Amino acid sequence: MRIDFAGRAAVVTGAGGGIGRAVALGLAALGAGVLAVDLSEAGGRETEKQGRAAGQDIVFQRADVTREADVAAYVGEATRRWGTIDIFMNNAGWQGPIAPISSYSLEDFERVMAINVGGVFLGLKHVLPVMTANGRGAVVNTASLGSHVATRNLGPYTASKHAVLGLTKTAALEVARKGVRVNAVCPGPVATAMLDEIEAAQAGGDAAELRRRRTASIPDGRYAAPEEVADLMIYLASDHARHITGQGIHINGGSHAI
């Protein structure tokens, strides 16, 4: 199976590290022009630097995905550069503080929802019209195993990822006959800096022991690498997945197999 994105344009949010960086570099390596969007100037510039060092067409744009003007701006920049958006990796997210619901501040709850749900919503709102006007496109939202199961002290994050899956299914139905597909990936534990931060807070100091126990509970015995999640996202964006839409695809080493 060969995937070639030459001549196609992609936007990746949350491209400053982790899964976002992996998928941005992966798309660019397959020939796509990539707009790497992130709030972090340092992270986004590093992704751009790595791609350009490999001779890839990748450009960083700073944006806050909770601000509609910023979302409209990154969509406008991509269409200015490449004339269209063929692939949209709607990936930016934040876990929020690790705390029980009873002690969670409303401010923190609203911030988690603004990034994880509002950012996905605004991305869909502004990218889908570009794709439907061209009669083609593929969107991959980053959901989570947390779209299906709960984790203590991650209530707002869990709620937000349930919402991402709902938006994915609804958007897919709305554009299914307009040449556009919308799917989500639902990763289990992924070896990223964000998960390191979550586990450190959950463990109260002994994150290594927590990771050992979690790793032991995964059927294939390990966390995913960001590149493995990126590979699934790239497949879903490719023509090989042309009959797949409205789905939340698990990638978790067999965890919660049903």
Rounded average pLDDT over 156-161:
97
CB 112 within 8 A of CB 144: no
Active-site residue flag, 235: no
* pLDDT, position 192: 78
Q: From the candidates 74, 104, 157, 235, which is the catalytic residue?
A: 157
* pLDDT, position 207: 72
Q: Give the residue from 81, 70, 163, 78 showing the smallest Cα distance to 129.
A: 78
- Cα distances from 154 to residues 19, 62, 135, 197, in angstroms, run 20, 27, 39, 13
Least confident of 91-100, 205-214, 224-233: 205-214
* pLDDT, position 203: 63
* pLDDT, position 1: 77
Residue 151, classified by CB atoms within 10 Å of its CB into exposed (0-12), middle (13-18) or buried (19+), is middle
Q: Is the pLDDT of residue 193 over 80?
A: no
* pLDDT, position 205: 67
pLDDT band at 96 (very low <50, low <70, confident <90, very high): very high
Q: Mind listing the pLDDT tens digit for each residue in 52-93?
A: 999 999 999 999 999 999 999 999 999 999 999 999 999 999
* pLDDT, position 257: 72
- Cα distances from 63 to residues 35, 77, 241, in angstroms, run 11, 11, 29
Q: Give the residue from 115, 120, 95, 224 showing the smallest Cα distance to 182.
A: 120
Q: Is the pLDDT of residue 155 over 70?
A: yes
* pLDDT, position 255: 83
Least confident of 19-33, 65-79, 130-144, 207-221: 207-221
Q: Is the pLDDT of residue 118 over 90?
A: yes
Mean pLDDT (the chain) is 94
CB 229 within 8 A of CB 251: yes
CB 24 within 8 A of CB 60: no
* pLDDT, position 258: 57
| Segments of the chain assigned E as strands | 9-13, 33-38, 58-62, 87-90, 137-142, 180-187, 248-251
User: Domains in the chain, start-ordered, CATH in brackets?
Assistant: 9-188+225-246 (3.40.50.720), 192-223 (no CATH)
CB 239 within 8 A of CB 7: no
Rounded average pLDDT over 104-128:
98
Least confident of 120-134, 153-167, 217-231: 217-231
Residues 6+ apart with CB under 8 A from 70: 63, 64
* pLDDT, position 99: 94
Which tokens go with 217? 């509970």
Q: Percent of the chain scored above 70 by pLDDT?
A: 96
Reported pTM: 0.93
